[in-house]
Amino acid sequence: MKLALRGKGKLGFEDGSCTKSRYRGIIYASDARKAWNDFQQRFDHSNLTKIYYLWSEIAMTRHGTDPVTIYYTKMKDLWDELDVLAPISCCDCEKSRPSVEHLKSQRVLQFLMGLN
């Protein structure tokens, strides 16, 4: 159990080394933007964990007994969230086209792998 908690970065909650924060800095924030910036500075050190989670979800998502449209929507939601955290090149220049086409091919294959 400790290995699983350590792998998820949650062992500190079990052994008491992680103390509860009171968020004093945001109580008197004058607007939501200041509160958001405070949260971002405290907690947004790396999106790598979230990216890993999304890749895992994409790899494990299966068609199952759902209609194909539901399965596609689940995959599309995961891909969209991944695109926000790890954006691909948005320019339409000649150099970026191969990587964009490669990404599209990967997603087609991911979709097909999950089909029944």
pLDDT category of residue 23 using cuts at 50, 70 and 90:
low
Average pLDDT of every residue of the chain: 82
Opening angle at CA 46, ends 40 and 48, nearest 5: 140
What's the pTM? 0.59
Which has the higher per-residue pLDDT, 40 or 116?
A: 116
Q: Residue 49 and residue 86: Cα distance in Å, rounded?
A: 12
